[in-house]
Amino acid sequence: MIWNPNKECMGREQMRELQGKRLHKVVEYVYHHVPFYRHKLQEMDLSPDDIRTIDDIVKLPYTTKKDLRDNYPFGLQAAPPSEIIRIHASSGTTGNPTIVGYTRKDIGVWSECMARCLTAYGVGRDDTFSVSYGYGLFTGGLGAHNGVEMVGAAVVPASTGNTEKHARLIRDLGITGIACTPSYALYLAETMDRLGISKDEIKLRVGAFGAEPWTENMRKEIQDRLGLKGFNLYGLSEIMGPSVSYECEEQHGSHINEDHFFPEIIDPVTLEPLPAGQTGELVFTTLTKEGMPVLRYRTRDLCSILPGECPCGRTNVRMSAIQGRTDDMLIIRGINVFPSQVESVVLTMKEFAPLYMLIVDRVNNLDTLMVQVELRPDFFNATLDTPAAIEELEQRFAAKLRSVLSIGAKVQIKAPGTIERSQGKSTHVIDKRQLK
Amino acid sequence: MTIRQLSIFIENQSGTLQKVLELVKQSRIQIIACTIADTAEYGIFRIICSEPDRACKELKEAGVAVAISEVFAVELDNQPGGAADVVGYFSQAGIGITYMYAFLLEGRGIMIFKPARAVEAEEVIRTNKLRCLSEQDLPVNA
What pLDDT is recorded for position A299? Answer: 96
DSSP strand pairing (A324-325 vs A330-332): unpaired
CB contact under 8 Å between B44 and A385, yes or no, is: yes
User: Which candidate from A377, A381, A390 shows the least CB-CB separation from B63?
Assistant: A377
Q: Shortest CA distance to B109 belongs to which of B133, B90, B140?
A: B133
Q: What are residue A131's DSSP bridge partners? A: A179
Burial A290-307 (b: 16+ CB within 10 A, else e): bbbbbbbbbbbbbbbbbe
The Cα of B79 is separated from the nearest Cα of chain A by a number of Å equal to 30
Confidence band, pLDDT 50/70/90 cuts, at residue A192: very high
What pLDDT is recorded for position A150? Answer: 98
Q: Evaluate whether residue B63 is within a structural domain.
A: yes
Whether B38 shows a pLDDT value over 60: the answer reads: yes
Of chain B residues 70-129, which have a CB less than 8 A from chain A? 70, 98-99
Are B7 and B66 found together in one domain?
yes
Mean pLDDT value across residues A271-275: 96
Are B104 and B45 found together in one domain?
no
Are B49 and B87 found together in one domain?
no
Q: What are residue B25's DSSP bridge partners? A: none
Most confident by average pLDDT, A111-115, A219-223, B80-84: A111-115
What pLDDT is recorded for position A427? Answer: 77
Are B43 and B90 found together in one domain?
no
Q: What is the pLDDT of residues A197-215, one digit of tens each?
A: 999 999 999 999 999 888 8
Q: What is the pLDDT of residues B42-99, one digit of tens each?
A: 999 999 999 999 999 999 999 999 999 999 999 999 899 999 999 999 999 999 999 9
Q: Which residues of A touch B69 (CB under 8 A)?
A: 382, 385
Q: Which of B17, B47, B70 is the last residue of a domain?
A: B70
**Integer Rg of chain A from CA:** 23
Q: Which domain holds residue B27?
A: 3-70
Q: Are A234 and A301 in contact (CB under 8 A)?
A: no
Q: Which residues of A touch B65 (CB under 8 A)?
A: 375-377, 380, 415-416
User: Which candidate from B7, B60, B70 shows the least CB-CB separation from A377?
Assistant: B60
The Cα of A345 is separated from the nearest Cα of chain B by a number of Å equal to 21
A354 class by beta-carbon count within 10 Å (0-12 exposed, 13-18 middle, 19+ buried): exposed
Whole-complex ipTM = 0.89
Side chain identity at residue A239, one-letter code: I
3-state class of A389 per DSSP?
helix
User: Which candidate from A378, A380, A391 shows the least CB-CB separation from B9?
Assistant: A380
What pLDDT is recorded for position A92? Answer: 72
Whether A434 shows a pLDDT value over 80: the answer reads: no
Whether A424 shows a pLDDT value over 70: the answer reads: no
CB contact under 8 Å between B9 and A376, yes or no, is: no
User: Which candidate from B11, B46, B69 shows the least CB-CB separation from A415?
Assistant: B11
Cα A106 from chain centre: 17
State the DSSP string of B49-95: ESSHHHHHHHHHHTT--EEEEEEEEEE--SSTTHHHHHHHHHHHTT-
- What percent of chain A is modeled with pLDDT above 70? 98
What pLDDT is recorded for position A218? Answer: 87
Q: Which residues of A touch B99 (CB under 8 A)?
A: 386
Q: What is the pTM of this model?
A: 0.81
What pLDDT is recorded for position A365? Answer: 81
Q: Shortest CA distance to B46 belongs to which of A51, A341, A387, A45?
A: A387
Q: Evaluate whether residue B55 is within a structural domain.
A: yes
Q: Which residues of A touch B37 (CB under 8 A)?
A: 386-387
Are B86 and B48 found together in one domain?
no
What pLDDT is recorded for position A436? Answer: 52
Are B81 and B117 found together in one domain?
yes
Backbone angles phi, psi at B100, to 5 degrees: -150, 155
Q: Which of B42, B70, B98 is the last residue of a domain?
A: B70
Are B8 and B52 found together in one domain?
yes
What pLDDT is recorded for position A215? Answer: 85
CB contact under 8 Å between B99 and A413, yes or no, is: no
Nearest chain A Cα to B64, which residue?
Answer: A377
CB contact under 8 Å between B65 and A415, yes or no, is: yes
Q: Does B39 touch chain A (CB under 8 A)?
A: yes
* CATH number, domain with residue B60: 3.30.2130.10
Q: Which of B70, B96, B124 is the last residue of a domain?
A: B70
Q: Does B44 touch chain A (CB under 8 A)?
A: yes
Whether B142 shows a pLDDT value over 60: the answer reads: no
Distance CA A113, CA A107 (A): 10
Q: Which residues of A touch B46 (CB under 8 A)?
A: 385
Mean pLDDT value across residues A28-34: 98
Nearest chain B Cα to A377, which residue?
Answer: B65
- Specify the length of chain A in residues: 436
Are B8 and B55 found together in one domain?
yes
Q: What is the mean pLDDT of chain A?
A: 94
Distance CA A401, CA A419 (A): 19
Distance CA B55, CA B42 (A): 21
Are B29 and B43 found together in one domain?
yes
Whether A380 shows a pLDDT value over 90: the answer reads: yes
Confidence band, pLDDT 50/70/90 cuts, at residue A366: confident
Show contacts of B52-59: CB within 8 Å, 24+ apart: B52/B4, B52/B5, B52/B6, B52/B135, B53/B4, B54/B27, B54/B29, B55/B6, B55/B24, B55/B27, B55/B29, B56/B6, B58/B23, B58/B27, B58/B29, B59/B6, B59/B8, B59/B20, B59/B23, B59/B24, B59/B27
Strands (E), A183-312: 206-210, 229-236, 241-247, 254-256, 261-266, 280-286, 297-303, 305-306
Side chain identity at residue A282, one-letter code: L
Mean pLDDT value across residues A28-33: 98
Confidence band, pLDDT 50/70/90 cuts, at residue A364: confident
Confidence band, pLDDT 50/70/90 cuts, at residue A275: very high
Distance CA A356, CA A345 (A): 10
Distance CA A65, CA A299 (A): 8
Q: Are A111 and A144 in contact (CB under 8 A)?
A: no
Are B63 and B100 found together in one domain?
no
What pLDDT is recorded for position A420? Answer: 83
- The mean-pLDDT minimum among A93-102, A243-252, B105-114 falls in A93-102
Distance CA A274, CA A259 (A): 20
Q: Shortest CA distance to A181 belongs to which of A223, A240, A132, A222?
A: A132
Q: Does B19 touch chain A (CB under 8 A)?
A: no
Are B65 and B113 found together in one domain?
no
User: Which candidate from A375, A382, A386 shows the least CB-CB separation from B65?
Assistant: A375
Total domains in the fold of chain B: 2
The Cα of B14 is separated from the nearest Cα of chain A by a number of Å equal to 13
What pLDDT is recorded for position A422? Answer: 66
Q: Which residues of B touch A377 (CB under 8 A)?
A: 60, 63-66
Q: Are A306 and A252 in contact (CB under 8 A)?
A: yes
Q: What is the pLDDT of residues A73-107, one digit of tens each?
A: 999 999 999 999 999 998 777 668 899 999 999 99
Q: Which residues of B touch A390 (CB under 8 A)?
A: 9, 39, 42, 44
- The mean-pLDDT minimum among A51-55, A272-276, A337-341, B122-126 falls in A337-341
Q: Evaluate whether residue B142 is within a structural domain.
A: no
Q: Evaluate whether residue B102 is within a structural domain.
A: yes
Q: Does B130 touch chain A (CB under 8 A)?
A: no
Q: Taking the alpha carbons of A323, A326, A330, A331 in that order, is the dihedral positive or negative?
A: negative
Q: Are A188 and A163 in contact (CB under 8 A)?
A: yes
3-state class of A89 per DSSP?
strand
Are B117 and B92 found together in one domain?
yes
Q: Are A207 and A226 in contact (CB under 8 A)?
A: yes
**Integer Rg of chain B from CA:** 16
Q: Are B75 and B81 in contact (CB under 8 A)?
A: no
Instruction: Return the H-helix or E-strand segment holding A397.
Output: helix A387-405
Q: Are B51 and B58 in contact (CB under 8 A)?
A: no
- Specify the length of chain B in residues: 142
Whether A274 shows a pLDDT value over 70: the answer reads: yes
The number of C-beta contacts closer than 8 angstroms across A and B is 58
A176 Cβ neighbours under 8 A, 6+ residues apart: A123, A126, A127, A128, A129, A203, A204, A205, A206
Of the residues B18, B42, B97, B101, the best mutation for testing chain A's interface (the one with the most A CB atoms within 10 Å of its CB) is B42
Q: What are residue A206's DSSP bridge partners? A: A177, A229
Q: Which residues of B touch A381 (CB under 8 A)?
A: 67
